[in-house]
Each structure stands twice: as structure tokens, then as C-alpha cells.
Structure 1
């Protein structure tokens, strides 16, 4: 430290001790004394040279002038204001504040500051001082050391810059990891990589390529234009291209110049020679021990990447590889799920005269995005249509497989002409026989093309909705039973309701109305409002609106199937045919078919035949069901030779029994045996025809003219 001083500035400041002065001289450290009361700052020769007040070397390996370490009180000095004038303006405030605090606290202070030398150069200086006080604790002197800190400050600045660069790279790795972890598909990974701002080594081009069938194929690039990307696209893995070498050796390849490229990779150089790049980094993408692609970072100027740069790029390559492997697996799962779902669901909805339909399927928001929800539209004999909506328990591949089998079976039962209750009962027995451990909810509805009657059967499913012509939408209650596959012997009740021309029937699965955040009743009310608010003119827009409201309001926890059906009425379609199947064990169905037949002949303009045709058709149907063990199929057709002229109504009842009817004369007390007698007596013509397996019984009635419907 500086030599002891005496109070009031009259004491001999002395010189540093014998061991301290050589050390100070060797390190270029000068000493100073600021007489606070007189406001004079004095320093030894080294201090004056450090401050630029004298010329000469600062560091003396062998001090030749001991006087250099002596502060001469009568020698050159300056005021504190003159001292502050030597300091760079940007540093004056810091130095002044620290000096004032040391004087107030009678303590120590120190600071780095810059001083402008007489030749205009800027030198960094550091000082350390201590405030001395008298008996009344008033500051009298500040003594201390001063030395040239230019090299020290540069070293410290470089250390700060290195620390800032390390922090920037750490932050980059953290942000890159976050962005890559959020990338879902391979396209997302490619986009994230090509948009990464590499710190300290901003490349002029970034390219991501994947290994496909033994070739490196470019997937995304930024900073590439013209032919710059050509040398790195569709490169064989067994070639001498640096990207192929990086994949084969599983080590990054760094090329610092064009000459380096030509020397190390002569086979690939001719194509690269036509590009504008001058240095490259090829990073192999290795995931689970398998090469899956390569990243390329290129620069317009020659660049020899240092250890830190190469470490950063290699780390980035590893992160991209893991993210790309995960994304490719996700892409494969999505492709599998989408393909399987396309196969299991109807490829298209068949057009049915008199009806308009629209369907949508939305996969669940997470998981494999495949499930057991399905829809179907089935044309039926006689021009009617059946609509189905169902949901097999679960949304995985197993559920989808069960759904596919159940959909095909139910479609087959419906196409055979079975009534709705029989279709549902048979589908339940089919699912139970599969023994998959799954059950399914389902809603099946048969809609009459002639007069809009709907016969609906529900197996543990949601009720349908109907939008009326006045714009209102209501939930249509349908009697229900247990889900399919639970009780194979269960008989399902049928609910009948009607649609007016232009009215719309909506069927959906519970994914549309129920989530973890939304209860079923609230979801049904939301669905009803959205069904009511949508525009019914375009059924496609309406189904998108209804499904979109559900998808936007809540995250989808389950897949969704949605089907809309509009009955357009009789206009523009064949009016004069009715076809119905009556199950052998369903004698109650005879009453329903009889009522439909009566309504049909009235609509066809031959209402005068309604009573007769109802009686005779009932006799034929009953005869087929009672005397055979098979189902019966009723077909009614009306033929007119000229508009408004005589009409011929033909009724046919088909069964699969080879037993032919026998006409007999019953006694007065007999309770049966008069059916064929009535047919023969009341019809204009009748007969029995073979039809391969089974027979067809028929009769015809002639109306002299068209009557009012």
C-alpha cells in the first residue's frame, strides 16, 4: 500500500517499502495522493505516464529510477476537476459517484474508466483508493494505486462476450428444443429447422433431407434458390457425396472452403462447383441407431467452424433427428388410421331419389385418430332409404375393426328388406356372436319415400333431432333398448314419426354433444341451437356448420359421426310403387303394411280400390306367414296406359316356401280357408308363379279412371 501519511498534508508521504516498489515497477503500477483539503492530486512518475501526463514506458522490468515510486508533494499536481477532465465523458459519472461514497463512508473505492491520451488513443485505467481521516473523522487524503487496465479490460470484455455467447447458445438450444418438441408432422419439423436462427454462425442456407429408399431426398430448404439445392437432392447413399458419407459414418462432415470440398469429395464436386456456396456442414440424423436423414448448413463465405460451433451444430442435429423420427412415426400412424377409416366407412353416400343426405366424420383430437363411430345410408327395396348412426365402444384400431364388421352386417340385414326391429335384433346377435368384448350403441331409421314416415329403432344411442319447415329444431324421442351385443335375445321397440317434405333428420354420435367439460343435456341443447341456427338450403353447409360449432367450442375427446337426411317429398320421383318385407314372426307388421298400402293407393289416385286392396293383400300376407316358415315380401305397383285413363293395380306377395296354396270350400262353421275364395271373387285377375326358390302370389284390380287422391 502507499506509505503512511501525516494529517493536514504536512506529513512526509515517504516511498513504498523496499519489496513493494520493485513489484509495482515490474507491473506498471503507479501511486497517487489526493489532498482533499487543498484539492490537489499528485502522483509518481508511473501514475503520470499512465494518465498520459508524461511520456515514456509504463512497465519497467528493472526500475532504474527509484524516484519513480516517490510522490513529490511539490511536484506536478492537478485539481480533482482537472483529473475528471481526463476521463472519458461516459465514465465520469461512475467515477465521481464512487469517490463521493468513499468520502462519505471514509472507506475504499475503485473503478475502471477510460482516459483519452494526448495522441487521441483511448486507454483503459483502473484505480483503487482509500480515504484517510483526521481525529474528527474528516476526510483529508485519498491514497491509492493506478494502473493501465487496457489488456485486463479487453480480457474481461472477451470473457463477458464469451459468457453472453454461451448464454445465447444455451437459450437457442432451449428454444429449438421447445419448437421441435411441438412439431407434430415431418413437415412441421422441416419448417422449424429451416427457420432456426443459429446464434453466432448464421448460415446462408439450411436444408433438411430424409433417407428414402436408399436416396437422400430434400424435404425443405431456406436460403436456396436456382440450382443451389440440386447437389444435395436425390443423392444415393452409396455415393461419395459428403451427406452420404456423413450418414454412412454417422459423423458430421465440415468443409471450410471450395478447395477443401474439391480435394475431399472429387466425385460430388462437379455439381457443387456450379453453386455459390463456399463452406458447408453436413449433419447426419441418427435416431435409435438408424440413419434417417441429413441436415445441411451452408455459407457464402469460407468458414472454418471452431469447436463450439461444431458442438452446437452436432447437438442441433441430434435434436432434429429425434424430433423427425417421432414425427415420421406420427405420420405413419395418421396414414394408417386415415386409410383404415376410409376403408371401413362408406366411400360415398349413394344417391336415393327423393332424399338428400350429408355426412361427416371427425376423428378424436388425440391418439390414433381412428375409432368406432360410423354412419351409413342404405337404399331399400321399393325406393325407401335406411339411415344408420352407431358407435362401437372405444376409439382404437380394435374398435374400428369391430365397427367395420358390424356396419357390413347391419347393411346386409337392411338390404334384405327386414323391418327395423328385426335389423337391430339381428345386428345385436351378430355382435354378441363375434365375442369381441365390445358393445355398440346404434340408431336405425327407415324412411318412406312415399309419404315421409320414419320407423326408428334405438339401441342405447342418442335421440335424433328433426328440423321442421318453420325453422325450429326439436329432439325426437325414440323408444330404446340396450346397446347392441349386450343381450342377443332382446327385441327392440319401433317408434314411428313423420317428416313433411323439406324437413331434415339429424343423427349423430355422442362425441358431438358430450366432452369432459360439457354434460350431455347441455351438449344436446347446444346441438339443437346450432341445428336451428344453420341455413338449411345447402345440406353440406349445414352439416359443416353443426360439426364446426362442436369442434370450435371444445376439444374433441371422442370421434364424431354426423348424418343429415332431408325428405324432398314426391315431386320428381316414381310415385306408384311400394315394397315392404314382413318378418315371419312379426304378425303385428301386417297392420302397419296394410295402413301404408291404403295411404299409397290413395296417393296414387285410386282411392276407390283402398278397401278391396287392403282386404286381399292382408289375406295373401297372412296366408304366406301362417302356412310357411319364411318371411314375406309385398310389392304394389300401379300401371296406367294413358294419363287419367284406366289404372291397373298389381299386388304381389313373395315367399321362399315351395308349398303352394290350395283352394278349398270351407264349411259354414269353419274359421279359415276363405282367403283364396275372396281373392278369386274380388280381384279382376290373380295367380301363383314360381320364382326359383319360392313362389309369388298376385292379384290385380282395375280402376276405371283416376280418382282424387
Structure 2
């Protein structure tokens, strides 16, 4: 088969640059009018030829005929690398990549790049080019146009700056709102405001002032030193002053210069004379329609704020106003709660000889930070000490009020000398009679100063803990009853245990050991571990350590009361040789308890040989006082040393409030009573009856040889 004949190849016109004579007549004037230059890059010879306008756009006028950059008859030219060296390094990479891709594909390309002129000015240039092939279809030339885009660069920079400022301001508003929302107190709001970095308009001074008693008073300031204290303090609301005007009109006042300040507010100008600030923005703080203060933003140079800047500052003023109003309300509530709690709790723990004590109260972490937990230490008529820990249901103002009444009542019952069971029963009846709908848990303990015996009663409360002399700690179980106010007729059993010198008794409320995430058993074990330790430690430091380890301390939803009591042992001879006890009229079982204490005291005082006699005779006097009167009786036992005669004298006194004196009788053989005074007279070394105010005092003495 004969080969198919090929069509004849048409001759290709030689390549001519766009500025050659073949160009239309209108092209050159059009390019000149629009500032467009042309160029031709000989790819194989790596020779870039530009017309005069292109050289000017590229900053290469020195290569033109006027600059003497080329020999006669030779067009000025540069290589591709020389051209790329003129570009910004970041842009040179982009231009190279696009040109190489266009050459490879015999296509076209365009780019926007920055170039630095020999004078150091930054310019922007746009170019558009197309690759032309030779007769063999290989890339030979790239021709195109170039024009100055510096105006576009400036516009883009301004747009970028504006976008950046808007982004910064949006971020600032978000961060400021977050910081102000987390500010709890007025001091927190003042700190946050005076540390704000305003974007785009960094101020030289910031002032936060509040309206108090008709005057604008500075709360906090930054950007002012000792020599330039703010001249805007204690300004009356009706004054001719920009801050006062802003508050009265609820409208910001902007002053761009000292001249404007002087012209608009001549009456307030004098304090500003010589002041380094030259521009101000007074922003009223209005919350719920009520003016509460002023924000002041100042500058060291004249500064006319534009619309966006004023909008930003006005928005900031609104946020500060809401935060400040909330913080002031919090401060007022906190001060009210703290003041009420200070009044309801003991102002101080009275010192008791032979004891060291420490107390702590931690309010709940939420709400008004006030509650129904309380503690108390009560010196008793016997010379001993009563300790109380209690918790009224709830942690609000109502619970705190009930707590205050109950604390005072329980303290009064204890101070009258009633035994622990009677103190608790009367307190329960008192709370029930208040009819508040609240109940309370409580633990009351009477601690014997002489030899560390504790008589404790518990009404639905936590058991106490005891830290022994070896540093170990354990829960001391106490027989319990119902919470106070639930059943006013219920009695409370007494649990007796002892303390050795140096041992510590811990009483607390359930907020210390129980939370939403920690149950009671786990909390008690955690408290026991914290409480255990070396004996002799400072009780204040120990109380702080226990309080710091409180369960769920960061989000505590219950208040905490804590009381530590350490028995140091008998404080002196008087305390060691004296015992006082009140016996209630309806508490005859107390007589057996007092007899046991008298026997223990006699043994500890070194007159154990008198214990049987003193127990019998004291029981007779107490019974006589209770049977023949309708009031309580008070027993006092004292030991006196008589070094001259070489013996010790034990004196027992029983006081009552009856004016009826005892009569000595001679009972018959079958009589069931009447022998008490006969026994006292027969077995004591001395006895008698003395008047005591509205009542009397019966006494007897027993002598023991040293």
C-alpha cells in the first residue's frame, strides 16, 4: 500500500514581541494610558527584554537607554535569575513554579508578587504571560504584560490590618467577657478592668470609679504613678465634669485633646492642667437602668477615636457595668452573711485551765456562705468544761437564725450545771417549741478538768474522734438518740470515756467528711488519717490541716464546724482538788453517777481510805436536798491540806434553794427514813448547815492523816 500523502506544512511566521511593528495602532496608546508594560523572555537564550514602561514598573530604569544600561543598538535585558532576585523571597518561589508549569505545558500564567526597588520601597506587580513555541513545537518565548499593583497591595494591607483588628477585637470582647464573668468581688472586677489590653487602641491609663453617696470615687487605676494621680476622684454627680455628664446622660463622653477638654469643661479643667494625659473616653456604667460608676480610658497623645473604636469601648463599658453590679451585690451579701455568722458564733473560745482548744468554721462554697453549723466551749459551774458541736438542717439565713437561738439555749442549760443528758433533752424540747420546721444534730460533752473523764451525749450527730498519746486516732463511739426537735420527750443516754494528758478530742460536722463524691465511711477514714500524728503539735496548725483536707473543698455544698480540745492534765492544785456537780430534781440516776465521781476523786486525791464514807454521806445529803425541796442541788467537794496538824480535810457541800432547814429526828426501828442526819453526825468529823442566799448549804468534813 502506497503511503498516504501528507498535507504540505505551512511556513510559521517568525516570532515577534508584542511591541513589534505588527501591533495594532491603538494598542500602544491603550497600554501607555493604563501604565502597562510589555516583555519578551527568550527561553533558550535566557534573555528577558522589557520596554521602558516595564523597566519602570520593575524598578530597572537604569537598564534603559536613558540610564545607559545597554550598548548602542542592543536592547536592555536581564536573565531569569536576575529577575527572580528582584522579588520577595516568598513570592519568587511561587513565580518560578508557575512559569515552569506554563513552559512545560506551552500554556499561560499570571502572578502577583512584591519587589523592592533600589530605593528600598516595597512595590507590588502583576504580570500575565503566554508561552510561544517554535516550528518544532518546543517552547521558545514567553511574552506578556506587566503593570504596577502597589495600590492593590496597600488596599490589601489595609484590609488585612482591618480584618486583623476586627479579629483581635472579637477575641478581646470574648476574653474580656469571660474574665469579667469569672470576677466574683468588686476587687476582682477592678483588677480585670485595669489589666485589659485594648486591641488597636492601647490606652495609657485606665480608671474604674463607682458612684457612692452622690460622688464618683475611684476604685482602681492603672497607668498613673505617684506624680500623676488621677484628677477625677470624688467628683460630685452634679458637677460640670465629663464623668458626671456621662453618668447623668448615660452617654459616653469622648475628648480627643486637652484643647477640647478645656473648651467643653472649663470648670473641670484646672485639675487636668499639667497632667500627662491628652485624650479621654468617659464610659458610663449603667446596670438595670441605674448608674453605678464610670470607666475612664485615657491616652498620652491626642487621639480622635473612630466609630469602631467608640463602639468597642461602649460595649466594654456595658460588660463592666453588669459585672460590677453583680460583684457589688455579691460583696453586700457576703458581708451580711459573714457579719451574721460572726454574731451567731462565739467571738472567742474562753480559756479553760488544763485545756487547749482550736475551732474553725468554713462556710459553704455556694449560696450565701452561711449555715446552721456551730461550735461552743462552755465553762461549767463545776469548774469543768462543756464542748458542743451542732448542725441545724440547711445552710441559709433561716438555718443560721435557728442555730443562733439553739446555741444560746444550749449554752444556758449547760452553764446552769445540768448534766449532759438533761442539757440535750432540754435543747430538744426548746427546738421543738420554736416550731421552725428545722431539726438539728448535736453532740455535747462535759469534760472533767480534774482527771479527764468525758460524759458525752449524741443527738443524731457524728461520733467524735480521739487522738491518743501515741499519735494514733480512732472513732469514739457514743450512744445516740434522735436529732434535736424530732421527739422532745426522748431521753439521751450518756457515754463515759477517759482522756489521758495530751490526748485530743475532735468534734466536727458532716460537711467535713461527706460530700457528693465521698460517702460518710470514706470521709471518716480520711479524717482519721489526717487527724493522726505526733502528739504535742500546735492545735491551730492541726485544725488548719484538717480544714484544708475537707472533702470536696473547692465545690463544698455544706458548711463545716470543727472543734479540737486537748486535755493537758490538772492545771493546778485547786483544780486538782475540787469537784462540782449539779443534780437535777428529776434526774435521780445522777446521784449514782456523782457517787462514782466522788469515789474516783478521793482515790486520785490520795484519800482513798475515805471513799466509802464520803460516798455514803454525800448520797444522804443529796437525797435529803432533792426529797425535801423542789429544786436542783449543787454538790461541791474540796480537799484541804493542813500542814500544821499533818492531815488532810475533805469537805463536802450540798446547796439547794429551799429556806426549810433540816430537822434531826430519832426514827423508830421500823421507820424507812430519818436516819440521814444521824449518819452524817455519827460518821463525819464535823458537819453543819449555813444560809446561802435564798437557800442553804449543808456540809460535812472528813479528816485523813497524811
**What TM-score, normalized to structure 1?**
0.89
3-state SS, counterpart of residue 153 of structure 1: helix
Paired with 2:47 and 2:13, the residues of 1 have a C-alpha distance of: 13
Query: Does the 8 Å CA contact 1:534/1:542 hold for their aligned counterparts?
Result: no
Deviations 1:293-316 (A, max 9, x none): 112222222222222222222221
Paired with 1:282 and 1:357, the residues of 2 have a C-alpha distance of: 55
Paired with 2:399 and 2:79, the residues of 1 have a C-alpha distance of: 93
Query: Does the 8 Å CA contact 1:378/1:411 hold for their aligned counterparts?
Result: yes
**Corresponding residue of 2:58:** 51
Query: Does the 8 Å CA contact 1:350/1:377 hold for their aligned counterparts?
Result: yes
- Taking structure 1 as reference, are residues 481 and 97 closer, same or farther at Cα in structure 2, changes over 3 Å only? same
Segment of structure 1 superposing worse, 267-276 or 602-611: 602-611
Alignment of 1:402-413 (within 5 A): 402-413=402-413
Paired with 1:106 and 1:435, the residues of 2 have a C-alpha distance of: 100
Query: Does the 8 Å CA contact 2:514/2:551 hold for their aligned counterparts?
Result: no
Paired with 1:522 and 1:122, the residues of 2 have a C-alpha distance of: 72
**Corresponding residue of 2:520:** 520
Segment of structure 1 superposing worse, 500-509 or 569-578: 569-578
CA drift of 1:526 comes to 1.7
CA drift of 1:11 comes to 7.5
**Corresponding residue of 1:371:** 371
3-state SS, counterpart of residue 226 of structure 2: coil
CA drift of 1:400 comes to 0.9
**Corresponding residue of 1:500:** 500
**Corresponding residue of 2:652:** 651
Deviations 1:416-474 (A, max 9, x none): 11110111111111111212121111111000111111000111111111111122211
**Corresponding residue of 1:28:** 35
**Corresponding residue of 1:626:** 627
Paired with 1:131 and 1:209, the residues of 2 have a C-alpha distance of: 71
Paired with 1:643 and 1:517, the residues of 2 have a C-alpha distance of: 69
3-state SS, counterpart of residue 231 of structure 1: coil
CA drift of 1:339 comes to 0.5
Deviations 1:580-601 (A, max 9, x none): 1112222221111011112223
CA drift of 1:347 comes to 0.3
Deviations 1:152-179 (A, max 9, x none): 1111111111111111121222221222
Query: Does the 8 Å CA contact 2:382/2:417 hold for their aligned counterparts?
Result: no
**Corresponding residue of 1:60:** none
Paired with 1:659 and 1:8, the residues of 2 have a C-alpha distance of: 150
**Corresponding residue of 1:612:** 613
CA drift of 1:184 comes to 1.4
Paired with 1:80 and 1:377, the residues of 2 have a C-alpha distance of: 96
**Corresponding residue of 2:236:** 236
Deviations 1:176-219 (A, max 9, x none): 12221221111111111111111222222212121111112122
**Corresponding residue of 1:176:** 176
**Corresponding residue of 2:684:** 683
Q: Does 1:419 align with 2:419?
A: yes
Query: Does the 8 Å CA contact 1:28/1:46 hold for their aligned counterparts?
Result: yes
**Corresponding residue of 2:97:** 97
- Taking structure 1 as reference, are residues 151 and 606 closer, same or farther at Cα in structure 2, changes over 3 Å only? same
Segment of structure 1 superposing worse, 326-335 or 117-126: 117-126
Paired with 2:137 and 2:673, the residues of 1 have a C-alpha distance of: 138
Q: Does 1:123 align with 2:130?
A: no
Deviations 1:353-409 (A, max 9, x none): 121111111112222111111100000012100000111112111111111111111
**Corresponding residue of 1:440:** 440
3-state SS, counterpart of residue 382 of structure 2: helix
Alignment of 1:36-185 (within 5 A): 36=43, 39=46, 41=48, 46-52=53-59, 79-88=79-88, 91-104=91-104, 107-116=107-116, 121-131=121-131, 139=139, 142-185=142-185
**Corresponding residue of 1:455:** 455
**Corresponding residue of 1:349:** 349
Paired with 1:118 and 1:512, the residues of 2 have a C-alpha distance of: 77
Query: Does the 8 Å CA contact 1:41/1:80 hold for their aligned counterparts?
Result: yes
Paired with 2:634 and 2:136, the residues of 1 have a C-alpha distance of: 126
Paired with 2:670 and 2:326, the residues of 1 have a C-alpha distance of: 85
- Taking structure 1 as reference, are residues 462 and 643 closer, same or farther at Cα in structure 2, changes over 3 Å only? farther
3-state SS, counterpart of residue 262 of structure 2: helix
- Taking structure 1 as reference, are residues 115 and 606 closer, same or farther at Cα in structure 2, changes over 3 Å only? closer
**Corresponding residue of 2:66:** none
Paired with 2:117 and 2:558, the residues of 1 have a C-alpha distance of: 77
Paired with 1:452 and 1:279, the residues of 2 have a C-alpha distance of: 75
Alignment of 1:280-295 (within 5 A): 280-295=280-295
CA drift of 1:609 comes to 2.7
Paired with 1:595 and 1:492, the residues of 2 have a C-alpha distance of: 20
CA drift of 1:544 comes to 1.7
Unaligned runs of 5+ in 1: 1-5, 57-73
**Corresponding residue of 1:396:** 396
Deviations 1:2-52 (A, max 9, x none): xxxx97854796877799877655432345454545655556664454335
Q: Does 1:594 align with 2:595?
A: yes
**Corresponding residue of 1:62:** none
Paired with 2:587 and 2:458, the residues of 1 have a C-alpha distance of: 18
Paired with 2:311 and 2:135, the residues of 1 have a C-alpha distance of: 63
Paired with 1:585 and 1:549, the residues of 2 have a C-alpha distance of: 44
Query: Does the 8 Å CA contact 2:459/2:480 hold for their aligned counterparts?
Result: yes
Paired with 1:565 and 1:45, the residues of 2 have a C-alpha distance of: 101
Paired with 2:609 and 2:140, the residues of 1 have a C-alpha distance of: 134
- Taking structure 1 as reference, are residues 533 and 97 closer, same or farther at Cα in structure 2, changes over 3 Å only? farther
CA drift of 1:628 comes to 3.8
**What TM-score, normalized to structure 2?**
0.90
Query: Does the 8 Å CA contact 1:464/1:505 hold for their aligned counterparts?
Result: yes
- Taking structure 1 as reference, are residues 418 and 571 closer, same or farther at Cα in structure 2, changes over 3 Å only? closer
3-state SS, counterpart of residue 145 of structure 1: strand
Paired with 2:690 and 2:366, the residues of 1 have a C-alpha distance of: 59
Query: Does the 8 Å CA contact 2:338/2:370 hold for their aligned counterparts?
Result: yes
Cα RMSD over matched residues? Answer: 3.0
CA drift of 1:578 comes to 1.5
Alignment of 1:447-596 (within 5 A): 447-533=447-533, 536-550=536-550, 555-574=555-574, 575-596=576-597
- Taking structure 1 as reference, are residues 478 and 563 closer, same or farther at Cα in structure 2, changes over 3 Å only? same
- Taking structure 1 as reference, are residues 705 and 174 closer, same or farther at Cα in structure 2, changes over 3 Å only? same
- Taking structure 1 as reference, are residues 645 and 108 closer, same or farther at Cα in structure 2, changes over 3 Å only? farther
3-state SS, counterpart of residue 218 of structure 1: strand
- Taking structure 1 as reference, are residues 10 and 28 closer, same or farther at Cα in structure 2, changes over 3 Å only? closer
Query: Does the 8 Å CA contact 2:421/2:493 hold for their aligned counterparts?
Result: yes
